Amino acid sequence: MTDIQSIKNRFGIIGNSPALNHALNTAVQVAATDLTVLIVGESGVGKEVFSQIIHALSARKHNPFIAVNCGAIPEGTIDSELFGHEKGAFTGAVDSRKGYFETVNGGTIFLDEIGEMPLGTQARLLRVLETGEFIRVGSSKVQKTDVRVIAATNRDLLEFKQNGKFREDLYYRLSTVPIRVPALRDRKEDIPLLFRKFVVDFAERYKRTPVQLDEDAKNALLNYPWQGNVRELKNIAEQISVLTNQPVLNAAELGRFLPERTNNRMPVLASAASNAGGEFANEREILYKLFFDMKKDVTELKKMFLEILQNPSLAGSVANYTKESLMNDYAANGGNVELSQPVIASQMVQPNVITTSHPVLIPHEHHNDDIHHHEEVEESLNIMDKEKELILKALKKHKGKRKDAALDLGISERTLYRKLKEYDIND
């Protein structure tokens, strides 16, 4: 059996945590077979290295290996990239082209971010896995291929399966042998070793003296969450190697290089935040929920006004109730308010648009007469406008860096590219 330490030396893997060693052992054992492997782990943990290990130790090691990021290929071209196309199959197809499954015949293909693959492409992939057959885009000729598939994801495919975003049959076909690569925060004993290796390498590259950490700085390094995992640690080590002139860093100096973390990447409803089952998959669903709740409130207001029209004697009691309710709500926030007009609500429903006209209470400074006023502000709640506004804010916040903006928005980079084109945003 291949020695694990020799594998680490060969592929530059640092660490001795039990979870890491277990993942490596599984990769070594499955390499000699032709089984499909699903590598699961957060972004930045080194999933592609495991695919390279499996290929290098397999009988296919002398044949081609290719890594494909499914999340970086536009939805309209991914079928052509993977399976090829015939001349004239679509606009711009001036020649026939071989896809990856044809050019890598006899080798290994690594499909990263498999959770971002469109459902139609998933069906084509399933056929390849089950029969070894595929059809080029625009062709009717069935072709054979002998390719080993290694897939990877940083998403919960079981949740995607339940939400109809990932085929159940493909999930079980891919996860014949699952390998879970541990996050860096789950192998804290490896963090000092990795940091030391990175600073030594960068010191040699930039002709600097390797930076060392005192005990407090080491503890700060261990307690940092490392949401970007090994990739983030390597970036921090490079920054420190280039920007500091101190031979030994303390915790305060190290803290200048560790960005503050926040769990709230997107505005969410209280009901959504307390939903442990992950009811809302993205920000658009949260907005839908907000608008539906508002629609329900407006419908009840309309019903109440209809009852007043049918029975005018109810008007006084309803007005007093509304006034008292608003005053109590405002008093709970440290103030009080006196209404000079009745509450007005109307609703107009268009495709994807719900517009409401409702009073927004704006308190004014107290004067001798203790009279407060409110102003009525009409607000247009258009889902697409709100989504565009969030995207623009994220791009501005991250200075046009689309990858960081997509991460902040909680969507894939491919989805962000599509939204930028859809809303004609030139960042």
Specify the pLDDT at position 123.
Answer: 95
Is 81's pLDDT higher than 80? yes
* Residue where a domain stops, chosen among 182, 199, 221: 182
**Does a structural domain hold residue 311?**
yes
Specify the pLDDT at position 314.
Answer: 59
Task: Judge if 417 and 272 occupy the same domain.
Answer: yes
**Does a structural domain hold residue 68?**
yes
Task: Judge if 290 and 380 occupy the same domain.
Answer: yes
Residue 416 pLDDT grade (very low, low, confident, very high; cuts 50, 70, 90)? confident
Burial 133-155 (b: 16+ CB within 10 A, else e): ebbbbbbeeebebebbbbbbbbb
Distance (Å, whole) CA 341 – CA 296 = 23
Distance (Å, whole) CA 281 – CA 240 = 37
* Contact between residue 31 and residue 150 where contact means Cβ atoms under 8 Å apart: no
- Provide the residue range defining the domain that includes 230: 185-255
Name the pTM for this structure: 0.61
Q: How much of the chain, in percent, has pLDDT values that exceed 90?
A: 54
Task: Judge if 190 and 238 occupy the same domain.
Answer: yes
Q: Please, where are the H alpha helices in 311-427?
A: 314-332, 383-397, 402-409, 413-422
Distance (Å, whole) CA 388 – CA 376 = 26
Residue 14's domain is classified under what CATH number?
3.40.50.300
Is 50's pLDDT higher than 60? yes
Which positions ≥6 away from 295 have C-beta within 8 Å? 347, 349, 354
Residue 212's domain is classified under what CATH number?
1.10.8.60
**Does a structural domain hold residue 11?**
yes
Specify the pLDDT at position 355.
Answer: 44
**Does a structural domain hold residue 77?**
yes
Task: Judge if 83 and 108 occupy the same domain.
Answer: yes
Task: Judge if 207 and 120 occupy the same domain.
Answer: no
**Does a structural domain hold residue 378?**
yes
Measure CA 224 to chain center: 21
Residue-wise pLDDT for 205-219, tens only, equals 999 999 999 999 999
| Whole-number average pLDDT of the chain | 81
Distance (Å, whole) CA 358 – CA 326 = 13
Amino acid at 98: K
Task: Judge if 14 and 153 occupy the same domain.
Answer: yes
**Does a structural domain hold residue 156?**
yes
Task: Judge if 54 and 139 occupy the same domain.
Answer: yes
Is 234's pLDDT higher than 80? yes
* Residue where a domain stops, chosen among 139, 157, 182: 182
Task: Judge if 325 and 417 occupy the same domain.
Answer: yes
Task: Judge if 9 and 41 occupy the same domain.
Answer: yes
Task: Judge if 174 and 192 occupy the same domain.
Answer: no
Task: Judge if 70 and 91 occupy the same domain.
Answer: yes
The mean per-residue pLDDT over the stretch 324-350 comes to: 48
- The phi and psi torsions of 365 (rounded to 5 degrees) equal -65, 150
**Does a structural domain hold residue 260?**
no
Nearest CA to 209 out of 254, 246, 252 is that of 246
- How many domains is the chain partitioned into structurally? 3
Run of H or E including 88: none
Radius of gyration of the chain (CA): 29
What's the number of CA atoms in the CB half-sphere (13 Å) around residue 275? Answer: 12
Give the bridge partners for 212, in sequence order: 248
Specify the pLDDT at position 264.
Answer: 43
**Does a structural domain hold residue 391?**
yes
* Residue where a domain stops, chosen among 255, 285, 315: 255
Task: Judge if 163 and 209 occupy the same domain.
Answer: no
